[in-house]
């Protein structure tokens, strides 16, 4: 019998955690893009940032999701770290809504109401237009069913009458500061192990409402949960970039500071919250009788939720005035690494552990592709510089110029290797994300992204092919290009660079504001100029302006620029959601 009860307890916790996850992901699919735009637009100062973080977190029921969005905006330069900290503070308030939902689920028998919601949810899921609402109904129903089963299991276990359990909690002196610290640490460790503050909160509510766990120890567990959930984020951010680690550390410092100050006013503060809810702290089962005692204990769910809210609201109100100092502190603790990021192959936005939701993972991948695109334009700029060096390396200057030439050529080779690695890493990441349950819009984005990175890698190949052609010409015995050929090549490369600039403008902005015809017009100019140079090259070779071998190398560079322009247009079409044109 005891084994069956234990399995019901574990199963109901699993239902609770799965329901939270499903509900949060459904809400993000329903409102994810709009919330990202709100998050970027409504953080003009610390107070609007805090309100935005609170509203977004309450909307998606996931402070982790809000934190991930915030960090990605910091990386993209859309938010400062200071604004991000204010959003994270707001997220701490927004996440307290979860505790109120759970306390309501614990206080009332809602299990009979979830079955109509399941029925309605399955109907909506099979209707393509409303399936995310159906997912949300399933998530909230699983959450409430888990809470109801947990409540019933707790009642069935008669925890308030379990003498061994009562003796265990009674062995801790309720007036001792050490007891508070022990339960605080226990709450943090449990949250870290279970990886769900909601599950630990549910266990705390069951223990308190049954009369087994005294309120002061229960509150200490809740305080520990606040710290435990930030430790998880900090460990996940260890493999992330500097700004992600700073944001995660700010979250930890914020909660630790709150726990520290509340320890000084612990009992008066808890008594004040109990007074708000109408809970009698001094009531015992002997003095009031079993029924009155259990009725009083049932209010503890709301005491825990009220404490959680009051703690985060007051802590935010205190620290919001010191955000600048908090920002300086985390920047002092986590210093920027002094590396040449251009030469350092490391994905700056995609991280292995911090991502929790597939919909937001796509946003991170988009930032990484934007970085990939910028890197390819820098690589093309090196090719142009290489061509300039090859044209000026003559006479006595050649030995010094040759060193510069070889050094620059090595950098281009390294960039080509980096482009191959970036394509592979981003593709693998998107492949992992695509395994999750995604919206049709997000699936289409992933297909477009895979096409984008393939074309960007082809741009890297074209740049490397041009660099090899220039190097072969520079190291070989052939004559130099004549001045007119250099002028034509520089003009062709100017047009190609214009196409790359247009591409990066699109990748870093919103596609609704981008005029795709500009990219198509530049491509047409490149094609027309290539055809013009091809005809002129035949005439010049026939007129013995230069040798056939020099003309071949010259046209190789021209044709490679034209191919690169095609790859750029393919990236633009993929980003805009257009079908690839037949050239």
The pTM is what? 0.65
| Cα 134 to Cα 25: distance, rounded to the nearest angstrom | 12
**Separation of alpha carbons 414 and 392, rounded Å:** 24
pLDDT of residue 561: 94
Per-residue pLDDT tens for 475-520?
A: 876 667 888 999 999 999 999 999 999 999 998 877 777 888 888 9
Mean pLDDT of 43-50: 74
pLDDT of residue 430: 86
The least confident of 83-87, 293-297, 345-349 is 345-349
**Cα angle 94-99-101, degrees, rounded to a multiple of 5:** 100
Task: Answer whether 464's CB lies under 8 Å from 402's CB.
Answer: no
Q: Which pLDDT score is estimated for 522?
A: 92
Please tell me the distance from the alpha carbon of residue 555 to that of residue 537, in angstroms, as a whole number: 8
pLDDT value, residue 343: 47
Percent share of the chain, pLDDT over 70? 80
pLDDT at 542 over 90: yes
- pLDDT tier, 341 (very low <50, low <70, confident <90, very high otherwise): very low
Higher pLDDT pick, 261 / 391: 261
> Residue 351: which pLDDT band, with cuts at 50, 70 and 90?
low
What local confidence, expressed as pLDDT, does residue 455 receive? Answer: 94
pLDDT at 142: 84
Pick one of 1.10.150.120, 1.20.58.220, 3.30.1330.40, 1.10.3720.10 as the CATH number of 358-576: 1.20.58.220
**341-354 average pLDDT score:** 54
Output the pLDDT for position 395. Answer: 45
Q: How confident is the model at residue 62 (pLDDT cuts 50, 70, 90)?
A: low
> Which of the four pLDDT bands, split at 50, 70 and 90, describes residue 276?
confident
The C-alpha atoms of residue 444 and residue 442 are separated, in whole angstroms, by: 5
Distances (CA, A) of 58 to 35, 99, 357, 541: 11, 11, 16, 72
Name the nearest CA neighbour of 56 among 45, 44, 72, 40: 40
pLDDT at 411 over 60: yes
Please say whether the beta carbons of 351 and 247 come within 8 A: no
Cα–chain center distance at 296? 43
Dihedral angle over CA of 541, 545, 546, 552, nearest 10: -30
Q: Is residue 344's pLDDT more than 60?
A: no
Cα–Cα separations (whole angstroms), residue 253 to 66, 122, 143, 290 = 18, 43, 30, 43
Cα separation of the two ends of the chain: 73
For position 366, what pLDDT does the model report?
A: 83
- To the nearest whole number, what is the mean pLDDT of the chain? 80
Burial class (CB in 10 A: 0-12, 13-18, 19+), 116: exposed
Per-residue pLDDT at 340 exceeds 50: no
Q: Distance (Å, rounded) from C-alpha 57 to C-alpha 227?
A: 18
Is the pLDDT score of 353 beyond 60?
Answer: no
Q: What's the whole-number mean pLDDT along residues 354-358?
A: 52
C-alpha span between 5 and 294 (Å, rounded): 21
Give the whole-angstrom CA distance, residue 94 versus residue 456.
40
Q: With contact defined as beta carbons under 8 Å apart, do 486 and 581 qualify?
A: no
Confidence of residue 297 (pLDDT cuts 50, 70, 90): confident
- pLDDT given at position 161: 64
Residue 233 and residue 251 in contact, taking contact as beta carbons nearer than 8 Å: yes
Confidence of residue 73 (pLDDT cuts 50, 70, 90): low
Q: Which residue has the tokens 């893009």?
A: 33
Angle at alpha carbon of residue 406, lines to 405 and 409, rounded to 5° = 85
Looking at per-residue pLDDT, the higher value among 502 and 583 belongs to 502
Residues 179/80, Cβ–Cβ less than 8 Å:
no
pLDDT in tens, 75-103: 555 677 788 888 888 888 887 887 787 77
Owner of token pair 């919330």? 35
pLDDT tier at 130, thresholds 50, 70, 90: confident
> Residue 285: pLDDT above 50?
yes
Q: 3-state SS of 372-433?
A: HHHHHHHHHHHHHHHHHHHHHCCHHHHHHHHHHHHHHHHHHHHHHHHHHHHHHHHHHHHHHH
**Non-local CB neighbours of 574 within 8 Å, separated by 6+ positions:** 448, 449, 451, 452, 455, 580
pLDDT tens digits, one per residue of 450-464? 999 999 999 999 999
Which of the residue ranges 58-62, 164-168, 571-575 has the most confident prediction, judged by mean pLDDT?
571-575
16 or 575, which is more confident?
575
- DSSP annotation of 342 reads T
Q: Is it the case that residue 4 has pLDDT exceeding 60? A: yes
Residue with tokens 């503050």: 197
Burial class, 286, CB count within 10 angstroms (exposed 0-12 / middle 13-18 / buried 19+): exposed
Phi and psi at residue 507, in whole multiples of 5°? -65, -30
Residue 350, classed as helix, strand or coil, is: coil
The CA distances from residue 331 to 82, 100, 255, in Å, are: 11, 35, 18
* Residue 580 backbone phi and psi in degrees, to 5: -65, 135
For residue 201, pLDDT over 90 is answered with no
Backbone angles phi, psi at 350, to 5 degrees: -80, 130
Where do you find CATH 1.20.58.220 in the chain?
Answer: 358-576
Q: Quick check: helix, strand or coil at residue 547?
A: coil
* CA pair distance 162, 206, nearest whole angstrom: 14
φ, ψ at 440 (rounded to 5°)? -60, -40
Kindly report the length of the chain: 583
Q: Give Cα separations from 53 to 68, 511, 512, 553 (angstroms).
A: 12, 26, 26, 58
**Please, which pLDDT band fits residue 354 given cuts at 50, 70 and 90?**
very low
Tell me the per-residue pLDDT of 141-172, one tens digit each, with 9 for 90 and over.
888 888 777 777 766 766 666 667 667 777 77
């Amino acid at each position: 019998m005891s084994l069956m009860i234990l399995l019901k307890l574990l199963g109901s916790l699993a239902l609770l955690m799965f329901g939270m996850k499903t509900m949060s992901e459904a809400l993000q699919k329903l409102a994810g893009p709009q919330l990202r735009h709100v998050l970027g637009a409504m953080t003009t100062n610390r107070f609007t940032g805090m309100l935005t973080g609170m509203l977004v977190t309450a909307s998606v029921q996931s402070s982790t999701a809000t934190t991930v969005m915030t960090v990605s905006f910091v990386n993209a330069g859309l938010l400062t770290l200071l604004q991000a900290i204010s959003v994270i503070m707001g997220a701490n308030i927004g996440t307290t809504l979860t505790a109120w939902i759970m306390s309501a689920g614990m206080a009332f028998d809602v299990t009979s109401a979830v079955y109509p919601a399941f029925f309605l949810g399955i109907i909506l899921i099979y209707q393509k237009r409303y399936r995310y609402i159906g997912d949300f109904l399933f998530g909230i129903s699983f959450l409430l069913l888990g809470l109801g089963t947990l409540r019933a299991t707790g009642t069935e276990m008669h925890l308030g009458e379990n003498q061994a359990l009562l003796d265990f909690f009674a062995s801790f002196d309720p007036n001792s500061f050490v007891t508070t610290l022990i339960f605080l640490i226990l709450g943090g460790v449990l949250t870290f192990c279970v990886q769900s503050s909601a599950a630990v909160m549910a266990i705390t509510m069951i223990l308190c409402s049954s009369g087994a766990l005294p309120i002061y120890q229960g509150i200490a567990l809740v305080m520990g949960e606040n710290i435990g959930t930030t430790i998880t984020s900090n460990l996940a951010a260890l493999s992330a970039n500097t700004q992600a680690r700073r944001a995660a550390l700010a979250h930890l410092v914020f909660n630790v500071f709150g726990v520290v100050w509340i320890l000084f006013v612990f009992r008066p503060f808890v008594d004040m919250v109990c007074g708000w809810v109408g809970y009698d702290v001094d009531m015992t089962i002997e003095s009031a009788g079993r029924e009155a005692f259990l009725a009083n204990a049932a209010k503890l769910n709301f005491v825990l939720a009220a404490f959680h809210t009051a703690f985060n609201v007051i802590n935010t109100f205190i620290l919001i005035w010191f955000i600048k100092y908090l920002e300086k502190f985390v920047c002092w603790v986590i210093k920027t690494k002094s590396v040449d990021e251009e030469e350092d192959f490391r994905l700056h936005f995609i991280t292995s552990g911090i991502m929790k939701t597939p919909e937001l993972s796509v946003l991170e991948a988009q930032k990484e592709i934007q970085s990939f695109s910028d890197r390819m334009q820098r690589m093309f700029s090196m090719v142009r510089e290489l061509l300039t060096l090859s044209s000026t390396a003559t006479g006595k200057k050649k030995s010094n110029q040759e060193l510069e030439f070889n050094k620059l050529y090595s950098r281009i080779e390294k960039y080509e290797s980096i482009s191959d690695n970036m394509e592979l890493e981003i593709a693998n990441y998107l492949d992992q994300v695509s395994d999750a349950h995604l919206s049709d819009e997000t699936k289409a984005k992933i297909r477009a992204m895979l096409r984008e990175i393939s074309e960007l890698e082809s741009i890297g190949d074209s740049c490397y092919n041009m660099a090899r052609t220039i190097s072969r010409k520079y190291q070989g015995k052939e004559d130099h290009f004549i001045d007119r050929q250099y002028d034509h090549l520089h003009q062709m490369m100017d047009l190609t660079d214009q196409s790359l600039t247009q591409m990066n403008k699109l990748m870093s902005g919103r596609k609704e504001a981008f005029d795709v015809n500009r990219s198509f017009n530049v491509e047409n100019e490149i094609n027309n100029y290539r055809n013009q140079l091809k005809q002129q090259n035949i005439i010049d070779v026939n007129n013995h302006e230069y040798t056939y071998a020099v003309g071949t190398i010259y046209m190789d560079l021209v044709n490679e620029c034209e191919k690169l322009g095609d790859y750029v247009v393919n990236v633009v079409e993929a980003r805009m959601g257009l079908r690839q044109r037949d050239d």
